[in-house]
Structure 1
Amino acid sequence: MHRRFADRADAGRALAEQLKHYAQRGDVIVLGLPRGGVPVAYEVAQALGAPLDVLVVRKLGVPWQCELAMGAIASGDALYVDEELMREADVSKPEFERVLAGEKAQLARREALFRDPQRAQIDVAGRIAIIVDDGLATGASMKAAARALRARTPAPAKIVAALPVAPRDAEARIGSDVDEVVCVAAPEMFFSVSQFYADFSETTDDDVRAILARASPASGPAARG
């Protein structure tokens, strides 16, 4: 089994090594998926000398097993639904709509929380957008995030999914939505992202806000108000 990362910062530094060909380029931006992906993304952005922003994503959990993703939503009304899983789990349309409404409210809340007036959204037009999470399980969140970026006008020139750990079939799961998948470890025995971290304690909203405050502000030609 691949060694466990000490924590998300350690994972971010390991991931940055795999992305060093993108270092010190003016056309690269790093987007962390809140909440757990943000501390990983911070280390990547610092190592690459790239601006950091967040791309808010909310998993749509099966009502009676919320950790099992039947889809995800992201900023900009992007939606991914795993129709096959919904059929297997026997989730009805009203049940799905209730989960969707609740997660849309949470997404709006987090957008307001993380996107304060002093922090403009980074413009992705024509740039290389590196989407970072702390790991990949179903791929739902990453697919929704990538679709959100594709839907922007103008869209990024390239979308890279960057992950410390993911299942062996990660590229098959998300490859149709991104241009490149970069992963530190893709172990054969994969049960959960947390098994590859010594410290996988929860990242809070306050943690995300503090990390964004430490990061270089989005300014100049990379930002838009």
Structure 2
Amino acid sequence: MKFADRDDAGRQLAEAVAAQVPKHPGPAPLVLGLPRGGVPVAVRVAARIGAELDIVIARKIGAPGHSEYGIGAIAEDGPPVFDGQSLAHLGLEPADLEEAVVRERQELARRVREYRGDQPPPDPTGREVVVVDDGLATGVTARAAVQWLRGRHPARLVLATPVCAAQAKASVGADTVICLSEPVDFRAVGQWYENFEQLTDADVAQLMAGAVYDRT
């Protein structure tokens, strides 16, 4: 199963999310896209279920010499989260990645300023929250976001993604995981998209321009 692009993936994912997150009286669900690639997918999901749209900011911690291979992640002001199996495979300990954590925390802070300015993050307390990404490989970035959100006491925490590795789905830690496709031969998220262009901060800002932040 391949998606034309993130917009196509978002349209398809939105239908699956709508089936499991029905509209009901009370606060609207909160849909949080993971920048950058999860944001265009989240836009479609939020529109379909009538949710408030926002972002949760996380940064992948890459393996030494292979930065695209995520073996850890940090989200907002949370602690680093590591993929234990990946660390064991590479013969690494969390202490070996302290410099990488510092670099990624600096980049995360920059993105917080870029995307949110002086505004606080949305408050998920007591709300149904749907975290959206464009795909899960190791799933460690989504796991860091879910762990950070868990400490802010949502009523229910859903992770929604178009495509995922089965192991990542099992380890992400959400109450519910919605994934349209779990390919056996999963190697990278981009292989399941016809168009997988990298997004810029400007792209994210444009997509989020109409978002309303929850200040309560």
Fold shared by both chains (TM-score > 0.5)? yes
Q: Where do 1:1-225 residues align within 5 Å?
A: 2=1, 4-21=2-19, 22-25=21-24, 26-91=27-92, 95-117=96-118, 121-152=121-152, 155-174=153-172, 177-215=173-211, 217-218=212-213, 222-224=214-216
Q: Tell me which amino acid in the other structure corresponds to 1:122.
A: P
Instruction: Provide the C-alpha distance between the structure 2 equivalents of 1:16 and 1:51, rounded to a whole number of angstroms.
Output: 14
For 1:223, what is the secondary structure of its paired residue? coil
Bigger shift: residues 33-42 or 181-190: 181-190
Q: Which runs of 5+ in 1 are unaligned?
A: none
Displacement, 1:185? 1.1
The structure-2 alpha-carbon separation of the partners of 1:23 and 1:58, relative to structure 1 and needing over 3 Å to count, comes to: same
Instruction: Provide the C-alpha distance between the structure 2 equivalents of 1:34 and 1:170, rounded to a whole number of angstroms.
Output: 18
Instruction: Provide the C-alpha distance between the structure 2 equivalents of 1:104 and 1:200, rounded to a whole number of angstroms.
Output: 26
Instruction: Provide the C-alpha distance between the structure 2 equivalents of 1:138 and 1:93, rounded to a whole number of angstroms.
Output: 17
Instruction: Provide the C-alpha distance between the structure 2 equivalents of 1:68 and 1:199, rounded to a whole number of angstroms.
Output: 20
1:38-76 C-alpha deviation (Å, 9 max, x unpaired): 111011111111111110010010121111112110012
* 8 A contact 2:136–2:169 mirrored in 1: no
**Identity of paired residues, percent?**
40
Instruction: Provide the C-alpha distance between the structure 2 equivalents of 1:93 and 1:122, rounded to a whole number of angstroms.
Output: 30
Displacement, 1:120? 5.0
* CA-atom RMSD in angstroms: 1.7
For 1:147, what is the secondary structure of its paired residue? helix
* 8 A contact 1:23–1:47 mirrored in 2: no
Instruction: Provide the C-alpha distance between the structure 1 equivalents of 2:189 and 2:36, rounded to a whole number of angstroms.
Output: 14
The structure-2 alpha-carbon separation of the partners of 1:64 and 1:223, relative to structure 1 and needing over 3 Å to count, comes to: same
Instruction: Provide the C-alpha distance between the structure 2 equivalents of 1:170 and 1:102, rounded to a whole number of angstroms.
Output: 25
Instruction: Provide the C-alpha distance between the structure 1 equivalents of 2:43 and 2:55, rounded to a whole number of angstroms.
Output: 10
Q: Tell me which amino acid in the other structure corresponds to 1:140.
A: V
Aligned residues: 213
Report the TM-score when normalising by structure 2: 0.92
Displacement, 1:84? 3.5
Q: Tell me which amino acid in the other structure corresponds to 1:19.
A: V
For 2:62, what is the secondary structure of its paired residue? strand
The structure-2 alpha-carbon separation of the partners of 1:171 and 1:83, relative to structure 1 and needing over 3 Å to count, comes to: closer
Q: Tell me which amino acid in the other structure corresponds to 2:215.
A: A
Report the TM-score when normalising by structure 1: 0.88
Instruction: Provide the C-alpha distance between the structure 1 equivalents of 2:82 and 2:195, rounded to a whole number of angstroms.
Output: 31
